[in-house]
Structures are given as structure tokens and as C-alpha cells.
Amino acid sequence: MLDSHLLEKDSCYDPEADDINTILSHVSSTLQQTPGSEEIIFQDLLSLSSCQGLTLPLKSSNKDPLQSMTSLNTVTDSVEQQVSEEWEHIARRFQQYFQHSLENIPVSAKPLSIDLYEKKRVNHLQSLSVLFPTEDVLVKYQTLRSLQLDQCFQNLLAGVNADNFSSVDVTKNCCYLADIILKMIKEDFIVFNSGVFKRSFNIARAMHDMYLEKYSDEMSALVEDIWEDIEEIMNKKSSKNSSRAKLSVRNESSDSLPSTKSFSSITAAMDKLPRDYIASIVNVVNSILYIEEHVEKLIQTSAWDSSGLPSRKIKRKGSLKGVLKTSSSPEPPRRPMSYTGTGLEDFTDSLNSSFGSYPGLSDNTPAPKVVEKSREERLRWEWKLMFKKIGHDLAQFVNNQIRNQFKVSLDKELADWTNLHVLVTKPVKEELWGGKLDYPKFVTKAVLDFMNELDFLLPFAKAGYDGALHSVRTAYVDSVCLCLQNLHVHLTKLCSDIPRNAPMKSLYAILSSAAYVRNQLNYYETVLVPDESSKKIFAEPYKKFVEVVDVVTKLMIEIHKNYMATSILHDAESYNWADMKDFHEGERCSYPIQMWNYHMRGLQYDLWTMCPPRLGQKIFGEILQESLQILGQRYAHAQPSYKRIPQFRCDIITVLLCTVEMLFHSCRSLYQILDVGDSHIPHYNIQNLCTTLLSTMAIVSSPLEILYREFKKGYMEKTQRGGQFSPVANTTGTNTDWLSWIQPGVFQRGLKQYDVMQTTTAVYIQCKLLLTQPEIDWAMTLQSLVMKDYTLAILVLTQCVAGEDGHTVTGSMENVKKTFQCMTRVLSECPHFPDAVAKTILPVIDRCNDWKVFEPKTMPGKDFIIPVWMESLFELMEPFVLRVLQPLLEHILIETHPKPNIRPIMSVIADLPCGCQPHTTTTSKPKKGDATKELIDTCLTLLLGQITEDIFVLPTSLCILLKMIQERCSSNGIKTPHQSAGLKVSSEIDLGNQTTELSPSDNISRMLAKSSSTPKLGGKFCKENKELAVEKVTYLGNFFNAEIFEVPSSSVLEAATNEFKAQLFSVCASNILDTSIGASDLRCLYNIIANNFLWLEKHLDIQNVLPKTLNIPQHFTISTDSPTTPAFDPTLEFELIGNRKFDHKLLASDLGLSEYGFRTLLYNRHEMQDGAYLEENEKKPVEVLRSVYEHEDRELG
């Protein structure tokens, strides 16, 4: 304001020197007598120009005496001298106050939900800039932040000068210290971009000088101390073993390095190096990389140009010499400054010193250590110089450590393999399972230990892109490539011993280990070579392990195929189809079928437990296809006798029933089950093979009279039963129709999408498909909740609050709240389904009959307990609440702070220079009630304005819900405040978490709700500010009832294909996972579904042909814990499948056979065999069928 000269036209005459002296004397005495009144007096001084029209020398002038044109012999006016000295004294007093306030702002690493210090910091710096030149203020601010950083170093690097000082223990605080530095940098980044200081300096250099250089100095000293400790330990161990190693030393090559203190000369004791020392150095490197990455992002943000145009013309021609020239960075000092530096208590004593003691950012400072580009600032932080002295030794250590770890791990694995022919496995971190790279769940111990060591040393390689650590990076890459080459040979040799000398579980472990190495190499490439155009450093080993995974996968499928053909599906007694004796009286299937089911179940368990999820699912599908191929060929050529027909039929029914269950495990989406195309292999082949088996069973084992009635006129002229409607007759079949015959209560013929299915059936199929996946499918979880108008989400929430038929649900109230919060957060993050929250919460309100909460006179939380669904809505409003609270809390903290009763500045003079009377404020102390009323009025005014300003922060899904609630209230005859349910819900939020009468949130709540219990002060505010209140409330009511929050008339899923739906839900799930708690929310909802699947199947009344053997829970269970998989009993399940009877209406449908296939299967019947014994009632059908099909093989012709 003072620099813009906007008030010059309205300014008064210059005051007399005596009046100025009087005013300044009053200010000085007031500051002396009333400590803590500095900010009030400073604001009063600023009001001299805005209210009184007077200007004072608010800025002290630091003029160079040599530049003055006044003669040295000129006599100085004593009054002017006195005014100048008085003002300098006052300015210093203000400076001390504001700088002391800046000191008291806490420094911490924890981010605040409401940062009340950000604005305070900027305001104090602006006040200092009014009093002093901004360059001097900037220097002092830098000094303050430097001392605060020193204080953090002293607190977190405690014991530096103590006798028992341990550098290893100190480095454990590096991550926390990095968080503090980053928070301070972000705070200063806001200050530098707020306009307080002129943008004439380089922000990258400012961050470097204030924080980065000091941090690297501290870490440099720690690294040197750690390395000295390492050398001391290694020298002691080396000298102790020197006598034992004399012979080996003499046999060394003549060109070996001499024995020195360097690390490379003591490699004999390398294996015994304490890991904690290297871990401490890794902690230092990780913290620096973490800071560097975030600071670069901040600098890129500040350098972003919204116009997209260059700030200055760029010459197309010219020399590039000197463009990248930088000033050489000095070697960091041996000891950090914080070891002997002063603390914050010394900073206050130095306030009276001259400005400029701290190296500022003015033009006369040294050149910045940054590389300038034409349009953006670049950070150049030479922190890698701390490793200049130890880079070679560190590279030698990394090389030896990787090779030693690989040798130890591989030797132990080879010993176990030679002696026991087993591979010890260890679990991979659960957060890595599956994912885009398809991580396995278990790998061999040798591979996991080796890769963990590579992960541990990876920060050295990441930091060695250039500079002193480049040799470390080179050693890391070379050692990894060499070890992985040997690991490739090792895994290949192990595969050759399977299954001859080792069980198949070892092959699963080898496959998982190879996949894990492959994925880690891909991760290392991403970390070490972020630029895709650069040369890949692990391209060759990555290619080799991709080949290993492919080869082992094919080997595994081939081994299981041989198992099926030679062992599992081989039994002479069971497959003696010509035997005229019943096979167990037709009451069970063949033994090979039972073993096939058992083998496939065991295979699925092993693959789901150990292998990468998607790869294991693919292998399971391939093996299922191969086994069905063998079964289809055998049963298509079987010619069972009359006594073996029940066994033949029972075998195929059992195979198909088991395949239905296995099909869910082998498919990742619905279209692979019901709408599979020829490009979806092996699912397409599985469906065809099952259709072939079903047709074989229908032709070979059906009663002769039905076969005769359907096909007596030829295969292409099947008889139509006159007057009888058949939904499947004359209908073109598909290769998935067999599902509707085997499981008619689950699958219906011709229904290939969820949209045309019954709601209960669609939800059941989707949940079953979800729970049979080898890993949690986030997109499928979300689809389960959204599909069929959010049926499953509504069912879960209504069961949480009311249970079934009024029964109490099993689970704690905490789990109920957690379920509601997870559900509302997940659905609110789906922009393609804006009505999701509304259509899910409204049935809950209906179920609980909670419409009374929207009545004007009710107060949830006082009249009755706040419903759990309303608490979840409050959580959705949290970002809005925080934005509203911040300015309100800032104002309350300022106004409620005790203020001294001081005399106004302008009251000390009678008249202004122009003769006008000065505007003075009353000096009488206000009454307590008046002050409280004024505070409440101001808070309510501020609160109303902030609500109307930030109302657009509310999620669209929440606003749609509030509008739908209002529509329901209107239809039910419930009168809401101002005809807006949104106002009612918004007013129930206790912003300040207070219940006293003076709570601003309490006042605004009752004011908006028009409650009869409105506090007295709130009522007075409404009367005195009726127009304002009506205007704001009307605006809010119109906002909540706006047309933009109408429920969409159509859904994005209408007429969408299954592939499009899968892709859409994948995108939505990805957006949810990008949030901080998205993964935990989806996992919670997945666990709810998994723990209640049996109850859900019963509740949806799914008619499954297999009777349940498990205890079905009677009530819904609210458990967010991971479900436990029950033990599998294949024998019991198999016997229940074997008791299933077949429906002979199957013959009236399209079997998907050609006429040649039908004829071949027909002649496999025992009645069609030459010399077969026929009853009298069988002779005519056989004779007719022979005459029709024996000479009408049209397909062959």
C-alpha cells in the first residue's frame, strides 16, 4: 500500500515535527509500559494513512553517507534528529516482536489438517517488509530458519560430542529429519511465491543455501565417522587373522594392491562387516534422495508457465559454449556447523546488529550453484561429494557384498537340494502380491535373500547416475548381471531334476522365483533408468528370466498333461466299457474321474498359494483344457454296455459339474464364462470340450425311446411336438449352453450379460467369480458393489444397521461404522456413478426409519444418537469443514487473545494539520457481554460467508443424495429447514466440537435449522442481520436444490459390453487406489463379501444342484478381517456330485453337433452294436435309426 501511492490524493498535509514527536513518544511509552501490544499499535500506525490521511516515515532509510549531497558542515535540526532516533527505536521494537513471533512458530514433520501458522508467517514477514527493506528481511528470515534447522539437528543428532556417540544410531533419525526439512522447504516455498519478497532471486538456490547444503554437511560428517569406524573394525579383524592368512597372501598375484588402510585391502574380513554400518549409510542416501526428489518437484511447480510461451526470445543460432558452466562447489567441511553453532537463544541477542550478516540473495552474493535453463530453474545439489573419498572403497564393498550374498545363498540351496531334493521357500511381502507385474506369494529362500540384498544396496546405484557414486553404480550393475547369469544356470539345472528326483512343488517354487527376479529387474530398470529412451542396463538378464518363466510354464503344463494321460486317467477296471457287470451298481463314477477332480483341486491350491496369480490362473486353465481334451477323446470313443451306461453318464456329469467350479477359477471376467470368443484361449476350447462331453452323454446314454422320437426322421429334420412350446427347441445353440443344463439354477440359456439376468443370479455369479480369483481383484470388487443398481452395497449396509427380519447382526459397532465409512468413501470416488451414494444410503434411511432427523426441531446427538449413516456423510464433508474452519479459527485465536487497553495514537493531538478532527476510537473497555456478542456476530458472519464460498468443495455424489433426501421428505410430508435437507445435514456438523452456548458452530446450527432452541446471541444476530442471513441461507438452499444434482436418467453401463464394463471399473478402481486409504477401503469391503458369501447364497435363494455340506450362517456377520479358507474335502464333494440325476429334456435343444458327430455317437450306443440283444420294444427304434443314419452320411459326402 505504501509503495503504490494510491492514497496520495487523499493524504493530509504533512504533520509538524512536534506532532510527530508527540505521536512517536506516545507509541514508544505505550510499547514500554504495555508489553504484547506491538501488533495492535502497529495496525494503528498503518491506519494513519487509511483513516487519518497522515503518513509517517514507516521505513527506516539506510542511506550511504558518501552519496548524500548535503554538506558535512550543515547543522542538523535537533527535532528531526530526535524523530529519526525515536522512529528507529520503535521500528526495532516491532522487529523484535515479529521476529520473536516467527521463532515461536513450531517446527515439526507432522502435517497439519488445518495449518494456522501459514498465514501468520506470511503476515509477520509482510509487517517486517513494511518496516525494513525486503532484502534485509529476507536475510534475517534465512538466518532464523537456519537456526531452527540447527536446533533440529541438535535434537535429532544428540550426543555428537559425547563419549558414547554412535553414528549408526544417529542415522536412524535421518528419515524423520528429512520430513522436517521438507516441511520447512514447503513452508518457505509458499512464502517465496506469496509476493512478500520480490521475485528477483532464484528459489532453487534459496532452498540450497538454507537447507540442502547444511543437511549435506551434517550427513558428510556422519558418513566419514561411520567409514572410519568400519575401517577400524576391519583392520582389527584383518590383523587378528593375519597369521592364519600368511600362506594365502603369499600365493596372491604380484599385481595385487598393497596393504593399506583403504577398505579394498581388507576384503578377507568382508563377510564379518557389521551390517548396521552400511545400513546407516543407506539411510543417509535414502533421506537425501527423498529430499532431492521432492524439492525438484517443487521447483518444477514454480517454473511452470501457464501461457506456454517463452519469457524471452530464444536465438536459434549461436555458440553453446558456457551455457552449462557452473561455479565449482567447494568441498564440504570436515565437521558440520551445527556442532559448534549457536542456538535460537542467541538469535534474539543479535537483533540489534546490522542487516546483511547472513549471506543473502542480493546481487553482490556469490554465483548460485544451479544450472539455469531458459524457462525454468534447475536444482544442482552437490551432495555426492561426501562420497568422493570413499567412493572406490564403497564400490569394492558393494561388489563383494553382492557376490558373497549370492554365493552363501546358492551354496545353502544346493546343499539342501543334493541331500533332500527340496527347496526352502519364504513368503514375499503381502503388499507385492499380484499387481501389474504379477508378483508371486512364495519364492525360494536363496532367491529372496539375494534379491533383498540387491534392494538394500539399490540406493547406492540410484544415486550413482553421475558424480562420486558412479563407480558404485557400475560395480552394482556388473555384479548383479554376473550373479543373475549364474542364477539362470542354477534354475535351469534344477528344472532338469523334476519330476524325476523332486516333487512338483519344487517346480512351482522355481517358477515363482524366476518370475520374482524378472519383476525385480523390471523395477530396477525403472529406478535406475527412468528415461525410457536410455539404454536398458538389465536388458539381457531380464530377457533370460522371461525365457525361464515361459519354459518352466510349458514344462509344468506338459508334466501335468502326462500325469493325466498315463496315471490319473488310467484305470483298466473303470474303463472296461464292454463289461456286462454293473460298476458299483451305478451309484458312483469312475475312480479316475475322482482322482482327476482331486488332482485339479490340489493343483489349484498349489498355484494359488505359491505362483504369480495371473500366471497361475493361466496355467490352471491350460491344464484344465488339456485334461478335458483327454477326457473328451476317451468318452467320445467309448462304447459302453447296457450295464455300464449309468457309470458313463455319472462320469460325464461329474466332470461337467467339477468343470463349472473350475471354470470360475480359470476366468477373470464374465465374458470368459458366458460370452467367450475364439480369441479367448483356453476358455473357448474348454467350452467346446464341455459341449462335446455333454453331447456325448446325451446321445450315448439317453433312453432309446426318446432318441427314436427325436431323430427318427433324420438329424436335420428333428420332430416338433405339435402344440407344445419348448423354450429351447429350434434355438441355435452356443458352446456355453452346457452350463444351463448342468447348473440350471445359476445359468440360464442365452443370457450372457448381467443386464439381462435376474438380479440375484447376477450378484451371485459376480461374487463367486470375485472370490475364486487368485488375488483380490479391485475392479471386480467395485463392480460387485455397483452392478444391478447397487444391490450388494444396499444389502450390506442394511444388514449392518438392522439385520435380517430384525435380528441383530454379528459384529461390533466399530465394524459397522468402518463398513459405512469405507462404502461411502469408495462410492463417492466413482465419478461415472454420481448417484451411487444416494441410491445406497436412501434404503438404509428407509430401513431404519430415520426420516425424523430431518425435522427442524430435532437435534441429532442431543435428542437422539447420530445415525451411523449420517456420520459417514459427515466424513465426506470433512474437506469442506476444514476449509470453513481455517479462517474461522484464525479469527477466533486473534480475537480471543487478551488485548491490553491502550490509548489510540491520534488521541494525543488535538487537530490534524488540515484542521480536521482526528478519528479516535473509544477508550472505554467494553463489557464482557458486548465483547462476546461482537465475537459471535463476527464469527457467524465469517462462517456464513466461508460456507457459501466453499460450498462447491462438497462431493457431487453427496449433493445428489441431499437433493434426493429433500425430494423424499417433500413426498412424505416432512418439512425441512428452508426446504433443503442439505441445510439440515450441514447444520448438524459440530465444527468446533463444542457444546457450550457460545460455540459458533452451535449458533450457526440452530440458525440454519430454525430450531426453537436457538441461543439468545444467535437469535439477536438473525434479527440484526436478517437480510444477510436470508441471503446466505437462500443461496445455500438453492445450491442444494439445483438441477445439476438431478439423478442421471441413464447409466454409463447401459447397453455396454462386458469388455467395456471391465475396463471402466478398472479405471475407477485405479482412481480409488490412488487415494491414501483407497486400498484399505476396498480390502475391507472385499472381506465383508468373502465372510458372508455362504449367507449371501442362501439369502439370494440360489438353487445349486450340489447340496451344501458346510454350516450356513443364519445371520449376516460384520467382520472386516481377512477370511479363512476352509479345508477342502474332495471325497465328500465328489459323492454329492455323483448323486445328481440328469434331465432328459436335453435332447430337444441344439447340441452343437454335426450330423457326422451325431451318427458317430449314435453308433457308440450298445443297442446299435452288431449282435446286441434287443427287447421287442427296442427292435423297431433300432431298425428305423439304422435305416435313417446308416446311408445318410451327408457331411462326409
pLDDT digits (tens, 9 = 90+) for 220-266: 888 888 888 887 777 776 666 554 544 444 444 434 333 334 444 44
The pLDDT, as a whole number, for residue 1073 is 93
DSSP secondary structure code for residue 111 in this structure:
P
CA distance 259 to 267: 11
| Better-predicted residue by pLDDT, 1080 or 653 | 1080
Are 516 and 407 in a shared domain? yes
CA distance 1191 to 1197: 11
Q: Is residue 611 part of a domain?
A: yes
Written as one string, the DSSP assignment of 14-73 is PPPHHHHHHHHHHHHHHHHHSTT-HHHHHHHHHHIIIII------S-----GGG--S-TT
| Better-predicted residue by pLDDT, 1061 or 322 | 1061
Number of folded domains that form the chain = 5
Are 1017 and 1085 in a shared domain? no
DSSP helix/strand/coil, 108:
coil
Neighbours of 838 (CB within 10 A): 21
- 498's torsion region: left (phi>0), alpha (psi -120 to 50) or beta? beta
pLDDT digits (tens, 9 = 90+) for 947-1003: 889 899 999 999 999 999 999 999 988 888 888 888 888 877 754 443 333 344 444
Q: If you average pLDDT over residues 446-455, what whole number do you get? A: 95
Kindly tell me if the per-residue pLDDT of 827 is higher than 90. yes
Q: Which domain-ending residue is among 1119, 1136, 1153?
A: 1136
Are 156 and 295 in a shared domain? yes
What the block records as the C-alpha cell of 1126 is: 476352509
- Proportion of the chain in helix, strand, coil states, percent, rounded to 5: 60, 0, 35
The pLDDT, as a whole number, for residue 779 is 94
Neighbours of 990 (CB within 10 A): 15
The pLDDT, as a whole number, for residue 1065 is 93
Q: Is the peptide bond before 499 cis (omega within 30 degrees of 0)?
A: yes
CA distance 833 to 837: 9
- CB-based contacts of 1080, cutoff 8 Å, min separation 6: 822
What the block records as the C-alpha cell of 449 is: 535373500
What the block records as the C-alpha cell of 319 is: 555458440
Kindly tell me if the per-residue pLDDT of 13 is higher than 50. yes
CA distance 474 to 470: 6
Q: Is residue 316 part of a domain?
A: no
Residue pair 745/1102 in contact by the 8 Å Cβ criterion: yes
Written as one string, the DSSP assignment of 420-459 is H----EEEPPGGGBBTTTTB-SEEEHHHHHHHHHHHHHHH
Q: Is residue 714 part of a domain?
A: yes
Are 597 and 739 in a shared domain? yes
| Better-predicted residue by pLDDT, 1017 or 519 | 519
Q: How confident is the model at residue 901 (pLDDT cuts 50, 70, 90)?
A: low
Are 998 and 1100 in a shared domain? no
CATH of the domain at 539: 1.10.357
Q: How confident is the model at residue 95 (pLDDT cuts 50, 70, 90)?
A: confident
- The number of residues making up the chain comes to 1197
**Helix residue spans in 865-955 (DSSP H):** 868-876, 878-895, 928-950
Q: If you average pLDDT over residues 203-209, what whole number do you get? A: 83
Q: Whole-model pTM above 0.85? A: no
**Helix residue spans in 1041-1077 (DSSP H):** 1058-1073
Are 402 and 444 in a shared domain? yes
CA distance 264 to 272: 14
Written as one string, the DSSP assignment of 463-491 is HTTSGGGHHHHHHHHHHHHHHHHHHHHHH
Task: Give me the percent of the chain exceeding a pLDDT of 70.
Answer: 73
CA distance 218 to 273: 24
Q: Which domain-ending residue is among 1016, 1045, 1074?
A: 1045
Are 1131 and 1153 in a shared domain? no
DSSP helix/strand/coil, 107:
coil
Q: Is residue 597 part of a domain?
A: yes
Q: Positive or negative CA dihedral for 141, 147, 151, 156?
A: positive
The pLDDT, as a whole number, for residue 805 is 46
Are 548 and 457 in a shared domain? yes
Q: If you average pLDDT over residues 341-352, what whole number do you get? A: 45
Give the range among 620-634, 849-863, 1084-1098 with minimum mean pLDDT.
Answer: 849-863
| Residue whose entry in the numeric block shows the C-alpha cell 520503535 | 90
CA distance 827 to 513: 38
DSSP helix/strand/coil, 856:
coil
Are 1093 and 1024 in a shared domain? no
Long-range contacts of 421-428 (CB under 8 A, 24+ apart): 421/497, 421/501, 421/502, 421/503, 421/506, 422/502, 422/503, 422/506, 423/494, 423/502, 423/506, 423/509, 423/510, 425/509, 425/512, 425/610, 428/516
DSSP helix/strand/coil, 729:
coil
Residue ranges making up the domain that contains 593: 584-720+730-744+1143-1189
Q: Is residue 74 part of a domain?
A: no
CB-count burial class (<10 Å; 0-12, 13-18, 19+) for 157:
buried
Neighbours of 714 (CB within 10 A): 13
CA nearest neighbour of 623 among 648, 650, 596: 596
- 581's torsion region: left (phi>0), alpha (psi -120 to 50) or beta? beta
Are 527 and 544 in a shared domain? yes
CA distance 396 to 267: 9
What the block records as the C-alpha cell of 1100 is: 439370494
Q: Is residue 311 part of a domain?
A: no
Q: Give how far Cα 604 sits from Cα of 430, 612, 619, 664, Å.
A: 20, 12, 9, 12
Q: Is residue 425 part of a domain?
A: yes
Kindly tell me if the per-residue pLDDT of 921 is higher than 60. no
CA distance 1072 to 141: 41
Q: List phi, psi (to 5°) of 1099.
A: -65, -35
Q: Which domain-ending residue is among 538, 568, 598?
A: 568
Kindly tell me if the per-residue pLDDT of 1164 is higher than 90. no
The pLDDT, as a whole number, for residue 615 is 96
pLDDT digits (tens, 9 = 90+) for 1019-1030: 777 788 888 888
Are 458 and 563 in a shared domain? yes
Q: Is residue 244 part of a domain?
A: no
| Better-predicted residue by pLDDT, 996 or 656 | 656
Q: How confident is the model at residue 616 (pLDDT cuts 50, 70, 90)?
A: very high
CA distance 701 to 574: 17
Indicate the average pLDDT of the chain.
77
Are 190 and 117 in a shared domain? yes
Q: How confident is the model at residue 112 (pLDDT cuts 50, 70, 90)?
A: confident
